[in-house]
A and B are shown apart, each in its own frame.
Chain A
Amino acid sequence: MFDQDTILLLKIVLGLLIFASLIGLGLKKFSTNEKLEPVIDNLNSRTKAWWMMCIIFALALATGGIGSVILFGITSFLALREFITITPSKKADHKTLFWVFFIITPIQYYLIYIDWYGLFSIFIPVYAFLYIPARSALSGDSENFLERTAKIQWGLMISVYCISHAPALLTLKIPNYDNPAKLLFYLVLIVQLSDVFQYVFGKLFGRHKIAPKVSPNKTWEGFIGGVTSAVIVGTFFYWATPFSMLEAAGMSLIITLLGFLGGLTMSSIKRDQGIKDFGTMIEGHGGILDRMDSICFSAPIYFHLVRYFYS
Protein backbone atom coordinates (compact mmCIF):
# COMPACT_ATOMS: atom_id res chain seq x y z
CA MET A 1 0.00 0.00 0.00
CA PHE A 2 2.91 2.33 0.67
CA ASP A 3 4.93 3.15 -2.41
CA GLN A 4 7.96 5.43 -2.38
CA ASP A 5 6.00 8.60 -3.10
CA THR A 6 3.49 7.92 -0.35
CA ILE A 7 6.28 7.35 2.15
CA LEU A 8 7.93 10.58 1.09
CA LEU A 9 4.62 12.43 1.47
CA LEU A 10 4.15 10.99 4.95
CA LYS A 11 7.69 11.98 5.91
CA ILE A 12 7.16 15.54 4.72
CA VAL A 13 3.87 15.87 6.57
CA LEU A 14 5.42 14.38 9.69
CA GLY A 15 8.25 16.89 9.42
CA LEU A 16 5.79 19.75 9.00
CA LEU A 17 3.80 18.59 12.01
CA ILE A 18 6.86 18.33 14.24
CA PHE A 19 7.94 21.75 13.02
CA ALA A 20 4.47 23.23 13.70
CA SER A 21 4.30 21.63 17.15
CA LEU A 22 7.73 22.96 18.12
CA ILE A 23 6.88 26.45 16.94
CA GLY A 24 3.55 26.29 18.76
CA LEU A 25 5.26 25.14 21.97
CA GLY A 26 7.90 27.85 21.65
CA LEU A 27 5.36 30.60 21.01
CA LYS A 28 3.22 29.45 23.91
CA LYS A 29 6.23 29.53 26.22
CA PHE A 30 7.99 32.72 25.16
CA SER A 31 5.27 34.96 23.74
CA THR A 32 4.53 37.88 26.04
CA ASN A 33 2.04 39.53 23.73
CA GLU A 34 -1.39 38.92 25.23
CA LYS A 35 -3.19 39.85 22.05
CA LEU A 36 -1.56 36.97 20.24
CA GLU A 37 -2.53 34.38 22.83
CA PRO A 38 -5.82 33.28 21.22
CA VAL A 39 -4.07 33.04 17.85
CA ILE A 40 -1.35 30.80 19.31
CA ASP A 41 -3.93 28.66 21.09
CA ASN A 42 -5.89 28.33 17.88
CA LEU A 43 -2.81 27.24 15.95
CA ASN A 44 -1.87 24.76 18.67
CA SER A 45 -5.31 23.18 18.70
CA ARG A 46 -5.19 22.96 14.92
CA THR A 47 -1.82 21.24 15.12
CA LYS A 48 -3.23 18.79 17.62
CA ALA A 49 -6.17 18.04 15.31
CA TRP A 50 -3.73 17.51 12.42
CA TRP A 51 -1.68 15.02 14.44
CA MET A 52 -4.87 13.06 15.05
CA MET A 53 -5.86 13.34 11.40
CA CYS A 54 -2.42 12.27 10.26
CA ILE A 55 -2.28 9.22 12.54
CA ILE A 56 -5.79 8.09 11.65
CA PHE A 57 -5.03 8.76 8.03
CA ALA A 58 -1.87 6.68 8.00
CA LEU A 59 -3.76 3.86 9.68
CA ALA A 60 -6.56 4.14 7.12
CA LEU A 61 -4.10 4.03 4.23
CA ALA A 62 -2.27 1.06 5.75
CA THR A 63 -5.50 -0.93 5.81
CA GLY A 64 -6.25 -0.04 2.20
CA GLY A 65 -9.63 0.97 0.83
CA ILE A 66 -11.73 -0.38 3.67
CA GLY A 67 -9.86 1.69 6.26
CA SER A 68 -10.53 5.01 4.60
CA VAL A 69 -14.15 4.09 3.83
CA ILE A 70 -14.73 3.36 7.52
CA LEU A 71 -12.81 6.44 8.64
CA PHE A 72 -14.75 8.80 6.39
CA GLY A 73 -17.99 6.95 7.09
CA ILE A 74 -17.59 7.70 10.80
CA THR A 75 -16.61 11.28 9.99
CA SER A 76 -19.78 11.68 7.92
CA PHE A 77 -21.91 10.18 10.65
CA LEU A 78 -20.53 12.55 13.28
CA ALA A 79 -20.73 15.55 10.96
CA LEU A 80 -24.36 14.72 10.17
CA ARG A 81 -25.03 14.44 13.88
CA GLU A 82 -23.68 17.94 14.44
CA PHE A 83 -25.67 19.28 11.51
CA ILE A 84 -28.97 17.74 12.57
CA THR A 85 -28.43 18.75 16.21
CA ILE A 86 -28.33 22.44 15.37
CA THR A 87 -31.10 22.17 12.79
CA PRO A 88 -34.69 22.27 13.96
CA SER A 89 -36.54 19.05 13.35
CA LYS A 90 -39.97 17.93 14.46
CA LYS A 91 -41.20 14.73 15.95
CA ALA A 92 -42.66 13.82 12.56
CA ASP A 93 -39.11 13.75 11.15
CA HIS A 94 -37.96 11.17 13.66
CA LYS A 95 -38.35 8.09 11.47
CA THR A 96 -36.92 9.93 8.47
CA LEU A 97 -33.86 10.84 10.50
CA PHE A 98 -33.47 7.26 11.64
CA TRP A 99 -33.29 6.24 7.98
CA VAL A 100 -30.85 8.99 7.18
CA PHE A 101 -28.44 8.05 9.99
CA PHE A 102 -28.62 4.29 10.05
CA ILE A 103 -29.57 3.20 6.56
CA ILE A 104 -28.82 5.83 3.90
CA THR A 105 -25.40 6.83 5.25
CA PRO A 106 -24.07 3.25 5.55
CA ILE A 107 -25.42 2.38 2.09
CA GLN A 108 -23.62 5.34 0.53
CA TYR A 109 -20.30 4.20 2.00
CA TYR A 110 -20.96 0.59 1.13
CA LEU A 111 -21.49 1.61 -2.50
CA ILE A 112 -18.10 3.31 -2.43
CA TYR A 113 -16.51 0.27 -0.87
CA ILE A 114 -17.81 -2.01 -3.62
CA ASP A 115 -16.83 0.65 -6.16
CA TRP A 116 -20.26 1.01 -7.78
CA TYR A 117 -19.72 4.45 -9.26
CA GLY A 118 -22.98 4.54 -11.23
CA LEU A 119 -25.06 4.17 -8.10
CA PHE A 120 -23.05 5.97 -5.43
CA SER A 121 -22.95 9.16 -7.49
CA ILE A 122 -26.75 9.36 -7.72
CA PHE A 123 -27.90 7.39 -4.68
CA ILE A 124 -28.33 10.39 -2.39
CA PRO A 125 -29.37 13.13 -4.87
CA VAL A 126 -31.97 10.89 -6.50
CA TYR A 127 -33.13 8.07 -4.25
CA ALA A 128 -32.53 9.54 -0.80
CA PHE A 129 -33.79 12.99 -1.78
CA LEU A 130 -37.05 11.56 -3.03
CA TYR A 131 -37.40 9.20 -0.13
CA ILE A 132 -36.85 11.82 2.61
CA PRO A 133 -39.88 14.04 1.86
CA ALA A 134 -42.01 11.01 1.15
CA ARG A 135 -41.18 9.43 4.50
CA SER A 136 -41.82 12.69 6.36
CA ALA A 137 -45.12 13.16 4.50
CA LEU A 138 -46.19 9.70 5.62
CA SER A 139 -45.88 10.92 9.21
CA GLY A 140 -48.71 13.31 8.43
CA ASP A 141 -47.34 16.63 9.71
CA SER A 142 -47.12 19.31 7.03
CA GLU A 143 -46.09 22.25 9.20
CA ASN A 144 -42.90 23.86 7.78
CA PHE A 145 -42.66 20.84 5.53
CA LEU A 146 -40.48 22.31 2.82
CA GLU A 147 -38.11 23.83 5.33
CA ARG A 148 -37.76 20.64 7.37
CA THR A 149 -37.21 18.49 4.33
CA ALA A 150 -34.68 20.87 2.82
CA LYS A 151 -32.70 20.95 6.03
CA ILE A 152 -32.41 17.19 6.26
CA GLN A 153 -31.48 16.99 2.59
CA TRP A 154 -28.82 19.63 3.05
CA GLY A 155 -27.38 17.87 6.05
CA LEU A 156 -27.16 14.66 4.08
CA MET A 157 -25.72 16.40 1.04
CA ILE A 158 -22.95 18.20 2.92
CA SER A 159 -22.08 15.69 5.61
CA VAL A 160 -22.48 12.44 3.73
CA TYR A 161 -22.64 12.85 -0.03
CA CYS A 162 -19.90 15.45 -0.34
CA ILE A 163 -17.52 13.96 2.22
CA SER A 164 -17.95 10.47 0.75
CA HIS A 165 -16.20 11.63 -2.42
CA ALA A 166 -12.95 11.83 -0.49
CA PRO A 167 -12.57 8.05 0.08
CA ALA A 168 -14.06 7.50 -3.38
CA LEU A 169 -10.80 8.88 -4.76
CA LEU A 170 -9.22 5.57 -3.80
CA THR A 171 -11.44 3.74 -6.28
CA LEU A 172 -10.10 5.68 -9.27
CA LYS A 173 -8.01 3.72 -11.73
CA ILE A 174 -5.47 5.97 -13.36
CA PRO A 175 -3.01 4.63 -15.96
CA ASN A 176 0.63 4.72 -14.78
CA TYR A 177 -0.37 5.89 -11.34
CA ASP A 178 -0.10 3.28 -8.62
CA ASN A 179 -1.62 4.46 -5.43
CA PRO A 180 -4.68 6.74 -5.70
CA ALA A 181 -4.53 7.19 -1.91
CA LYS A 182 -2.02 9.91 -2.71
CA LEU A 183 -4.82 11.84 -4.45
CA LEU A 184 -6.72 11.90 -1.19
CA PHE A 185 -3.62 12.86 0.71
CA TYR A 186 -3.00 15.69 -1.75
CA LEU A 187 -6.56 17.00 -1.38
CA VAL A 188 -6.46 17.04 2.42
CA LEU A 189 -2.98 18.56 2.47
CA ILE A 190 -3.89 21.44 0.13
CA VAL A 191 -7.20 22.15 1.83
CA GLN A 192 -5.67 22.20 5.31
CA LEU A 193 -2.68 24.29 4.24
CA SER A 194 -4.96 26.75 2.50
CA ASP A 195 -7.10 27.01 5.65
CA VAL A 196 -4.17 27.70 7.91
CA PHE A 197 -2.41 30.06 5.48
CA GLN A 198 -5.61 32.04 5.11
CA TYR A 199 -5.90 32.21 8.86
CA VAL A 200 -2.30 33.34 9.36
CA PHE A 201 -2.30 35.86 6.51
CA GLY A 202 -5.66 37.17 7.70
CA LYS A 203 -4.35 37.65 11.23
CA LEU A 204 -1.16 39.33 10.03
CA PHE A 205 -2.36 41.54 7.20
CA GLY A 206 -6.16 41.31 7.21
CA ARG A 207 -7.82 44.68 6.58
CA HIS A 208 -10.61 44.33 4.02
CA LYS A 209 -13.41 41.98 4.93
CA ILE A 210 -14.94 39.84 2.21
CA ALA A 211 -18.34 39.16 3.76
CA PRO A 212 -18.38 40.78 7.20
CA LYS A 213 -21.91 39.68 7.99
CA VAL A 214 -21.22 36.04 7.25
CA SER A 215 -17.68 35.54 8.42
CA PRO A 216 -15.91 38.50 10.07
CA ASN A 217 -12.57 36.69 10.01
CA LYS A 218 -12.36 36.28 6.24
CA THR A 219 -10.38 39.08 4.61
CA TRP A 220 -9.15 39.66 1.07
CA GLU A 221 -5.56 39.76 2.33
CA GLY A 222 -5.96 36.41 4.07
CA PHE A 223 -7.74 34.93 1.09
CA ILE A 224 -5.18 36.00 -1.51
CA GLY A 225 -2.18 35.18 0.69
CA GLY A 226 -3.62 31.81 1.72
CA VAL A 227 -4.66 30.72 -1.74
CA THR A 228 -1.37 31.81 -3.31
CA SER A 229 0.76 29.95 -0.76
CA ALA A 230 -1.38 26.82 -0.93
CA VAL A 231 -1.21 26.85 -4.73
CA ILE A 232 2.58 27.23 -4.63
CA VAL A 233 2.89 24.24 -2.29
CA GLY A 234 0.39 22.31 -4.40
CA THR A 235 2.39 23.00 -7.54
CA PHE A 236 5.62 21.68 -6.03
CA PHE A 237 3.88 18.52 -4.84
CA TYR A 238 2.92 17.64 -8.41
CA TRP A 239 5.16 14.54 -8.27
CA ALA A 240 2.69 12.92 -5.88
CA THR A 241 -0.14 13.28 -8.40
CA PRO A 242 -0.91 12.24 -11.96
CA PHE A 243 -0.87 15.95 -12.90
CA SER A 244 1.83 17.93 -14.67
CA MET A 245 3.26 20.87 -12.78
CA LEU A 246 0.93 23.34 -14.48
CA GLU A 247 -2.06 21.07 -14.01
CA ALA A 248 -1.19 20.69 -10.34
CA ALA A 249 -1.23 24.46 -10.00
CA GLY A 250 -4.67 24.62 -11.62
CA MET A 251 -5.98 21.74 -9.54
CA SER A 252 -4.80 23.21 -6.26
CA LEU A 253 -6.27 26.56 -7.26
CA ILE A 254 -9.66 24.89 -7.81
CA ILE A 255 -9.35 22.97 -4.53
CA THR A 256 -8.52 26.08 -2.51
CA LEU A 257 -11.23 28.21 -4.13
CA LEU A 258 -13.86 25.56 -3.48
CA GLY A 259 -12.57 25.11 0.05
CA PHE A 260 -12.99 28.82 0.60
CA LEU A 261 -16.54 28.77 -0.75
CA GLY A 262 -17.30 25.76 1.44
CA GLY A 263 -16.11 27.60 4.51
CA LEU A 264 -18.17 30.64 3.58
CA THR A 265 -21.31 28.58 2.97
CA MET A 266 -20.99 26.72 6.25
CA SER A 267 -20.45 30.04 8.02
CA SER A 268 -23.73 31.25 6.58
CA ILE A 269 -25.50 28.19 7.91
CA LYS A 270 -23.96 28.66 11.35
CA ARG A 271 -24.79 32.36 11.35
CA ASP A 272 -28.37 31.58 10.35
CA GLN A 273 -28.72 29.16 13.25
CA GLY A 274 -27.13 31.68 15.61
CA ILE A 275 -24.01 29.74 16.57
CA LYS A 276 -20.30 30.38 16.11
CA ASP A 277 -18.95 26.86 15.73
CA PHE A 278 -20.65 23.57 15.22
CA GLY A 279 -18.50 22.62 18.18
CA THR A 280 -18.99 25.43 20.66
CA MET A 281 -22.50 24.57 21.68
CA ILE A 282 -21.45 21.07 22.48
CA GLU A 283 -18.20 21.22 24.37
CA GLY A 284 -15.70 18.51 23.60
CA HIS A 285 -17.89 17.05 20.92
CA GLY A 286 -18.35 19.31 18.01
CA GLY A 287 -16.10 20.78 15.51
CA ILE A 288 -15.90 17.97 13.00
CA LEU A 289 -18.03 19.93 10.58
CA ASP A 290 -15.94 23.03 11.32
CA ARG A 291 -12.85 21.11 10.24
CA MET A 292 -14.51 19.48 7.24
CA ASP A 293 -16.27 22.47 5.70
CA SER A 294 -13.63 23.07 3.04
CA ILE A 295 -13.32 19.36 2.20
CA CYS A 296 -17.10 19.16 1.73
CA PHE A 297 -17.02 21.46 -1.26
CA SER A 298 -13.71 20.53 -2.81
CA ALA A 299 -13.90 16.72 -2.58
CA PRO A 300 -16.74 16.05 -5.08
CA ILE A 301 -15.49 18.50 -7.72
CA TYR A 302 -11.89 17.33 -7.38
CA PHE A 303 -13.11 13.74 -7.67
CA HIS A 304 -15.03 14.39 -10.86
CA LEU A 305 -12.25 16.44 -12.47
CA VAL A 306 -9.68 13.73 -11.79
CA ARG A 307 -12.06 11.03 -12.91
CA TYR A 308 -12.98 12.80 -16.14
CA PHE A 309 -9.52 13.91 -17.21
CA TYR A 310 -7.19 11.25 -15.86
CA SER A 311 -8.87 7.88 -15.42
Chain B
Amino acid sequence: MTAKILVLLTRLITGVSVHFVNRFDISNKQRIFYSNHSSHLDFLLIWSILPDEQRKLTRPVAAKDYWGVGKIKKFFSTKILNAVLVHRKWRDVLGERNPIEKLLDTIKSGDSLVIFPEGTRSLDFKLKNFKSGIYHLAESYPELEFVPIYIDNLSRVLPKGEFLFIPILTRAVIGEPFRIHENETKSDFLTRARNNLIKLYPKESLNV
Protein backbone atom coordinates (compact mmCIF):
# COMPACT_ATOMS: atom_id res chain seq x y z
CA MET B 1 0.00 0.00 0.00
CA THR B 2 2.73 2.45 1.02
CA ALA B 3 4.66 1.35 -2.03
CA LYS B 4 1.69 2.01 -4.33
CA ILE B 5 1.22 5.53 -2.95
CA LEU B 6 4.93 6.25 -3.21
CA VAL B 7 5.01 5.08 -6.80
CA LEU B 8 2.00 7.20 -7.70
CA LEU B 9 3.46 10.27 -6.01
CA THR B 10 6.82 9.85 -7.72
CA ARG B 11 5.18 9.53 -11.12
CA LEU B 12 2.96 12.53 -10.46
CA ILE B 13 5.78 14.79 -9.30
CA THR B 14 8.32 13.81 -11.92
CA GLY B 15 5.85 13.22 -14.79
CA VAL B 16 8.33 10.60 -15.95
CA SER B 17 8.08 9.23 -19.46
CA VAL B 18 9.76 5.91 -20.19
CA HIS B 19 11.58 5.09 -23.40
CA PHE B 20 13.02 1.73 -24.37
CA VAL B 21 15.94 1.63 -26.79
CA ASN B 22 14.73 -1.83 -27.71
CA ARG B 23 11.62 -3.01 -25.94
CA PHE B 24 12.00 -6.20 -23.88
CA ASP B 25 10.05 -7.88 -21.11
CA ILE B 26 11.25 -6.17 -17.97
CA SER B 27 8.60 -7.64 -15.70
CA ASN B 28 10.00 -10.62 -13.83
CA LYS B 29 13.55 -11.84 -14.48
CA GLN B 30 16.20 -11.12 -11.87
CA ARG B 31 18.35 -8.25 -13.12
CA ILE B 32 20.78 -5.59 -12.00
CA PHE B 33 19.58 -2.12 -12.97
CA TYR B 34 22.17 0.58 -12.88
CA SER B 35 21.88 4.27 -13.50
CA ASN B 36 23.44 7.71 -13.34
CA HIS B 37 23.05 9.27 -9.91
CA SER B 38 22.14 12.91 -9.50
CA SER B 39 19.34 13.06 -6.96
CA HIS B 40 17.95 11.27 -3.93
CA LEU B 41 14.91 10.51 -6.04
CA ASP B 42 16.84 8.36 -8.53
CA PHE B 43 15.95 5.08 -6.94
CA LEU B 44 12.33 6.04 -6.37
CA LEU B 45 12.04 6.98 -10.01
CA ILE B 46 13.46 3.66 -11.26
CA TRP B 47 11.28 1.81 -8.80
CA SER B 48 8.20 3.65 -9.96
CA ILE B 49 8.67 2.81 -13.64
CA LEU B 50 9.15 -0.93 -13.07
CA PRO B 51 6.18 -3.26 -13.51
CA ASP B 52 4.62 -4.47 -10.22
CA GLU B 53 6.14 -7.97 -10.30
CA GLN B 54 9.64 -6.67 -10.93
CA ARG B 55 9.23 -3.91 -8.35
CA LYS B 56 8.41 -6.47 -5.66
CA LEU B 57 11.75 -8.19 -6.10
CA THR B 58 13.83 -5.07 -6.70
CA ARG B 59 15.90 -3.56 -3.89
CA PRO B 60 18.03 -0.44 -3.98
CA VAL B 61 21.59 -0.44 -2.78
CA ALA B 62 22.13 2.57 -0.55
CA ALA B 63 25.00 3.97 1.50
CA LYS B 64 24.67 2.93 5.13
CA ASP B 65 26.76 5.91 6.22
CA TYR B 66 23.98 8.15 4.90
CA TRP B 67 20.71 6.21 4.76
CA GLY B 68 21.40 4.20 7.91
CA VAL B 69 21.91 7.31 10.05
CA GLY B 70 18.97 8.86 11.84
CA LYS B 71 15.59 7.33 12.60
CA ILE B 72 13.60 8.73 9.68
CA LYS B 73 16.15 7.95 6.99
CA LYS B 74 16.67 4.48 8.42
CA PHE B 75 12.96 3.75 8.60
CA PHE B 76 12.42 4.99 5.06
CA SER B 77 15.33 3.09 3.54
CA THR B 78 14.91 -0.21 5.33
CA LYS B 79 11.20 -0.51 6.05
CA ILE B 80 9.69 1.18 3.02
CA LEU B 81 12.24 0.78 0.26
CA ASN B 82 13.72 -2.45 1.59
CA ALA B 83 17.18 -1.19 0.73
CA VAL B 84 20.38 -3.17 1.03
CA LEU B 85 22.52 -0.86 3.13
CA VAL B 86 26.23 -1.02 2.51
CA HIS B 87 28.92 1.03 4.18
CA ARG B 88 31.19 2.98 1.86
CA LYS B 89 34.02 2.90 4.42
CA TRP B 90 33.24 -0.55 5.80
CA ARG B 91 36.84 -1.28 6.77
CA ASP B 92 36.77 1.50 9.38
CA VAL B 93 33.64 0.19 11.06
CA LEU B 94 33.88 -2.65 13.52
CA GLY B 95 31.83 -5.65 12.50
CA GLU B 96 30.73 -4.14 9.17
CA ARG B 97 30.67 -6.68 6.33
CA ASN B 98 32.17 -6.29 2.91
CA PRO B 99 29.50 -4.62 0.72
CA ILE B 100 30.13 -7.00 -2.17
CA GLU B 101 29.40 -10.01 0.04
CA LYS B 102 26.15 -8.41 1.13
CA LEU B 103 25.12 -7.82 -2.45
CA LEU B 104 26.06 -11.32 -3.53
CA ASP B 105 23.88 -12.71 -0.74
CA THR B 106 20.96 -10.63 -1.98
CA ILE B 107 21.46 -11.82 -5.54
CA LYS B 108 21.62 -15.40 -4.31
CA SER B 109 18.18 -15.00 -2.74
CA GLY B 110 16.80 -14.05 -6.18
CA ASP B 111 16.28 -10.31 -5.77
CA SER B 112 16.98 -7.66 -8.40
CA LEU B 113 19.14 -4.67 -7.46
CA VAL B 114 19.33 -1.03 -8.39
CA ILE B 115 22.86 0.28 -8.13
CA PHE B 116 24.55 3.57 -8.84
CA PRO B 117 28.08 2.58 -9.87
CA GLU B 118 29.35 6.17 -9.69
CA GLY B 119 29.20 5.74 -5.92
CA THR B 120 27.87 9.22 -5.22
CA ARG B 121 25.62 11.84 -6.75
CA SER B 122 27.35 13.81 -9.48
CA LEU B 123 26.83 17.55 -9.52
CA ASP B 124 27.80 18.24 -13.09
CA PHE B 125 26.07 16.14 -15.71
CA LYS B 126 29.13 14.09 -16.58
CA LEU B 127 29.09 10.41 -15.74
CA LYS B 128 31.89 9.62 -13.28
CA ASN B 129 34.04 6.53 -13.59
CA PHE B 130 32.43 3.39 -12.20
CA LYS B 131 33.43 1.77 -8.94
CA SER B 132 34.40 -1.84 -9.33
CA GLY B 133 31.47 -3.37 -7.37
CA ILE B 134 29.38 -3.91 -10.48
CA TYR B 135 32.19 -5.98 -11.97
CA HIS B 136 32.41 -8.25 -8.95
CA LEU B 137 28.71 -9.00 -9.22
CA ALA B 138 29.09 -9.89 -12.90
CA GLU B 139 32.17 -11.98 -12.23
CA SER B 140 30.44 -14.03 -9.52
CA TYR B 141 27.22 -14.46 -11.52
CA PRO B 142 28.14 -14.52 -15.23
CA GLU B 143 24.53 -15.32 -16.19
CA LEU B 144 23.24 -12.17 -14.51
CA GLU B 145 21.84 -9.50 -16.84
CA PHE B 146 22.67 -5.81 -16.41
CA VAL B 147 20.28 -3.11 -17.57
CA PRO B 148 21.45 0.52 -17.95
CA ILE B 149 18.85 3.20 -17.25
CA TYR B 150 19.55 6.83 -18.02
CA ILE B 151 17.60 9.31 -15.93
CA ASP B 152 17.21 12.75 -17.44
CA ASN B 153 16.41 15.98 -15.62
CA LEU B 154 15.75 14.52 -12.18
CA SER B 155 18.47 16.61 -10.57
CA ARG B 156 16.30 19.63 -11.31
CA VAL B 157 13.37 18.13 -9.44
CA LEU B 158 15.41 17.67 -6.28
CA PRO B 159 19.03 18.85 -6.52
CA LYS B 160 21.69 17.78 -4.09
CA GLY B 161 21.39 19.82 -0.92
CA GLU B 162 17.74 20.81 -1.39
CA PHE B 163 14.80 19.25 0.37
CA LEU B 164 11.87 20.80 -1.48
CA PHE B 165 11.05 19.34 -4.87
CA ILE B 166 9.67 21.14 -7.90
CA PRO B 167 7.48 19.36 -10.48
CA ILE B 168 9.78 19.41 -13.51
CA LEU B 169 9.22 16.74 -16.16
CA THR B 170 11.74 13.93 -16.40
CA ARG B 171 12.34 10.87 -18.52
CA ALA B 172 13.99 7.50 -18.19
CA VAL B 173 15.70 5.73 -21.08
CA ILE B 174 16.08 1.98 -20.65
CA GLY B 175 18.91 0.32 -22.56
CA GLU B 176 19.34 -3.28 -23.62
CA PRO B 177 20.26 -5.99 -21.07
CA PHE B 178 23.76 -7.38 -21.37
CA ARG B 179 26.06 -9.90 -19.63
CA ILE B 180 29.74 -10.14 -18.90
CA HIS B 181 31.77 -11.73 -21.70
CA GLU B 182 33.89 -14.76 -21.05
CA ASN B 183 37.34 -13.70 -19.81
CA GLU B 184 36.38 -10.03 -19.86
CA THR B 185 38.74 -8.01 -17.70
CA LYS B 186 37.62 -5.74 -14.94
CA SER B 187 38.48 -2.52 -16.72
CA ASP B 188 36.93 -3.73 -19.99
CA PHE B 189 33.67 -4.60 -18.30
CA LEU B 190 33.54 -1.34 -16.35
CA THR B 191 34.22 0.66 -19.50
CA ARG B 192 31.61 -1.27 -21.46
CA ALA B 193 28.99 -0.86 -18.73
CA ARG B 194 29.70 2.85 -18.53
CA ASN B 195 29.57 3.27 -22.31
CA ASN B 196 26.28 1.38 -22.49
CA LEU B 197 24.84 3.97 -20.15
CA ILE B 198 26.40 6.94 -21.95
CA LYS B 199 24.89 5.65 -25.21
CA LEU B 200 21.45 6.35 -23.75
CA TYR B 201 22.11 10.04 -23.27
CA PRO B 202 19.73 11.75 -25.64
CA LYS B 203 21.15 14.13 -28.20
CA GLU B 204 19.20 16.95 -26.64
CA SER B 205 19.00 16.39 -22.97
CA LEU B 206 16.30 18.11 -20.96
CA ASN B 207 19.19 19.09 -18.74
CA VAL B 208 20.03 22.08 -20.85
Residues of A within 8 A of B (CB): 77, 81-82, 84-89, 91, 94-95, 97-98, 101, 273-275, 281-286
Contact = CB atoms under 8 A, between A and B. Distances in A.
A97 B17 contact: no
Most buried by A among B162, B164, B167: B167
Contacts of A101: 166-167
Contact of B206 (A85, A95, A284): A85
B14 to A, nearest CB: 10
A281 B156 contact: no
A283 B17 contact: yes
Given A88-B208, A94-B159, A81 B17 contact: no
Interface in B112-163: 153, 156, 159, 161-162
Contacts of B17: 282-285
Q: Is the interface of A mostly helix, strand, loop or mixed?
A: helix
A285 B11 CA distance: 12
Nearest to B165: A98
23 contacts: A77-B167, A81-B168, A81-B169, A82-B169, A84-B166, A84-B168, A85-B168, A85-B169, A89-B156, A91-B159, A94-B156, A94-B164, A94-B166, A98-B164, A101-B166, A101-B167, A273-B208, A282-B17, A282-B169, A282-B171, A283-B19, A284-B17, A285-B15
A86 to B, nearest CB: 7
A285 B166 contact: no
A290 B208 CA distance: 20
Closest 5 CB pairs of A and B: A88-B208, A85-B169, A91-B159, A97-B166, A283-B17
Contacts of B164: 94-95, 98
Q: Is the interface of B mostly helix, strand, loop or mixed?
A: loop
B204 interface: yes
Contacts of A284: 17
Nearest to A89: B156
Contacts of B167: 77, 81, 101
Most buried by B among A94, A283, A284: A94
B166 A281 contact: no
Given A85-B153, A94-B159, A285 B204 contact: no
Given A81-B15, A81-B169, A86 B206 contact: yes
Contacts of B153: 85
B166 A98 contact: yes
Contacts of A282: 15, 17, 169, 171
Contacts of B156: 89, 94
B162 A94 contact: yes
A89 B15 CA distance: 18
A288 to B, nearest CB: 11
B21 to A, nearest CB: 15
Nearest to A286: B169
A98 B167 CA distance: 9
A281 B19 CA distance: 11
A98 B208 CA distance: 19
B12 to A, nearest CB: 11
A275 B206 CA distance: 11
